[in-house]
Amino acid sequence: MSIADNLLAFTLAATLLTLTPGLDTALVLRTAAVEGKQQAVRAVLGINLGCLIWGAAVAFGLGALVAVSELAFSVLKYCGAAYLCWLGANMLVRPRSRMASTTDERGQGGNWLLKGMLGNVLNPKVGIFYVSFLPQFIPEGQPLIAWTFGLVGIHVLLSLIWSAVLIGATRPLAEILRREQVIRWMDRTTGVIFLLFAARLALSRR
């Protein structure tokens, strides 16, 4: 395939991947609905920073270690599952009852950036996906590092666009989403989803 064909094929594949509901979608929707736009944007930036970190690891060969080493895969897998359990259990046991205030947003913004990033960095499936997926779209003879970062950049751009759509979708429902019962339901539902993803990650194989 030509360079243009490779880019088009990757963009289509990455678009389907981005639109498939998963942990990132749940995190963005929950954060936008319960804690507001600013917090959701921070979570989105953290999620995509995690993608860039994995992209760098793949570009410089570290991602291949996770793909071939059972120990490295298992360590990341169980750390990621434990982290998701911690997040999910907190949302399930201690759900919020109100939208975060402006003060809360400023105080906790860094935390959501970190939570979004760790959710991806501690998931070895992301690394293995990049290791196995990206090389298929790098034309023969092209610089590996530049193309890896370029493809990851396309994936991140698509993710940012889709996340903006998700965050925007919560605005027409703002009045409903501010209700105490709805906020508690959103937190608990997301907590259950996180726990299910944690179990799935812990039981997963390469």
**81 within domain boundaries:** no
Average pLDDT over residues 92-102: 66
**74 within domain boundaries:** no
Strand, coil or helix: 205: coil
Checking if the pLDDT of 206 tops 70, the result is no
**204 within domain boundaries:** no
Average pLDDT over residues 164-186: 80
**19 within domain boundaries:** yes
Q: Supply the pLDDT for residue 157.
A: 96
**147 within domain boundaries:** yes
**30 within domain boundaries:** yes
Which range of residues forms the domain containing residue 112? 3-69+95-189
- Considering 93-97, 125-129, 192-196, the range whose residues carry the highest mean pLDDT is 192-196
> Number of folded domains in the chain?
1
pTM above 0.75, yes or no: no
